[in-house]
Chain A
Amino acid sequence: MIEVQHISKSFHDGIKVLDDVSTYFETGKTNLIIGQSGSGKTVLMKSVVGIHTVDAGSILYDGRDITKMKDNEKKHMHREIGMLFQGSALFDSLTVLENVMFPLEMFSKAPKDEIQQRARECLERVDLTRAIDLYPSEISGGMQKRAAIARAIVLNPKYLFCDEPNSGLDPKTSLMIDRLIQEITHEYNITTVINTHDMNSVMEIGENIVFIYKGVKEWQGNKDEIYETGCQPLEDLVFASNLYKKIKEAHFALRK
């Protein structure tokens, strides 16, 4: 479990992007951070991962406070983290297979055959074996995301962070990526944190949802509780489209 305790973060302009945020992300569940653009959700995720240094507060990874770690300790801690970036962030000069092998080559002392075998297993897990010899620029956005997921899980991470995993994908591929992330989370019992503003993802895999509004945590719950939150900014975000308004009406009609 990751516990976030009273963190605040501001940048050079002095405006507080995160203001006393406390929350938790559960192990073996898909934890979603949602919010409007500019609400501070990306800063929250980057602060939790350690890309941003927080001004105040603590971030505990199974009791270990990352904000108090020295650079070397943080470097070792990062080996327990897998991250899927918004643009996939695959290395252009390496093939898909080499991208997935990269973390193992960097940190494992296993022979090359074993490294290649493990990378192939991960690519098989994300159903990408036919593209192993291609370069990132030669495959589609969805395939890039799957390759990035394979790279993120190749070291058996305890924590998986996904920044906007559905951005730029069609609804079908988007759903497939969501389900893949959820399956991997359950299969490997990982603490997965997903930063998204895709309402399909919220309704599909929202096992623990954290809503951030203007840098403050306004609500936390799961996808079944999202219909009656009493939080107007959240309802404005989730039920903004006619489709979701109708889903909400159907939900209440069914309950009656």
Chain B
Amino acid sequence: MSAISRVGEYTLLMKRACALPDRWSMFFRQYTREIVNLGIDSILIDIIISIFIGAAITIQTKSNMSNPLLPKYVTGLAVRDCLLLEFSSSVMCVILAGKVGSSIASEIGSMKISEQIDALDIMGVNSANYLILPKIMAMITVIPSLIIISAASGIVGGFMIAEFTDIISLHEYVYGIQYSFNPFFITYSIIKGLVFAFIISSVSSYFGYSVKGGAREVGHASTQAVVNSSVIILVSNLLLTKVLL
């Protein structure tokens, strides 16, 4: 299928998905479930990855900034800006595209091949709206929290290096973290995260929804969902960075 046909199909599916729900009570039930499945269940991996990356960035920055002319606080400052500007929004969303995207595509794909989606349609339920909209809204709701948690965890990772090793002093690190802080970076990070949350949930839902065949095709759709979401996130990241900064 050509890329243009896919974009057309995706747009039509999103038009169906983004209609007003048939029953708000059912929507909120699904929405709450998705917040747990897609958001709360991702917190642990979000924290673990961010702590280790924060720690690694701290060690690397310190070891590559040995020039005595550079101020000592530069390591803390670099860690903070790396986390806020790129890692916690963009890289973390690419990682979430792997975890959440494959889960969404395989769940919807399995429902498709086992005729559960046909069953919804036959009942007169807008299946796209019932299944996809709560996932999109849940991702958009939880992503700002995931970004903040990731940035905070990354900073804690660096803090642990300062506290438990001789690589950098705690004072230098903490001073660098606080130095010349621009609050817009948080807004910027969250704006990017909201766009990426929509991309992850909608693109993965599209690949799941368009599955035809059996278990093999569900696996293929899941892979395609992750690959396409990741590529679209990276391209959008470039465009958003140019527009917002």
Contacts and interface: CB of A to CB of B under 8 A. Distances in A.
Given A75-B124, A76-B124, A89 B26 contact: no
Interface stretch (B114-122, B135-143, B161-169, B183-191): B114-122
B41 interface: no
A83 B124 contact: no
B23 A89 contact: no
A79 B124 contact: yes
A21 B142 CA distance: 53
Interface residues of B, number: 17
Interface residues of A, number: 22
A85 B118 contact: yes
Contacts of A81: 122
Contact of B119 (A75, A76, A79, A89): A89
A106 interface: yes
Contacts of B118: 51, 85, 89
Interface string B105-120: 0000011001110110
Given A85-B115, A91-B116, A51 B122 contact: yes
Contacts, number: 50
B171 to A, nearest CB: 52
B125 interface: yes
B114 A89 contact: yes
Nearest to A112: B25
A106 B116 contact: no
B22 interface: yes
B123 interface: yes
Interface in B116-165: 116, 118-119, 121-126
Contacts of A90: 116
Interface in B74-90: none
A221 interface: no
A103 interface: yes
A163 to B, nearest CB: 8
Given A105-B23, A106-B22, A78 B115 contact: no
Nearest to A83: B122
Interface of B: 22-23, 25-26, 110-111, 114-116, 118-119, 121-126
Given A79-B124, A83-B122, 7 more contacts: A51-B118, A51-B121, A78-B122, A78-B123, A85-B118, A89-B119, A106-B23
Closest 10 CB pairs of A and B: A78-B124, A89-B119, A89-B115, A85-B115, A79-B124, A83-B122, A75-B124, A89-B116, A103-B123, A87-B114
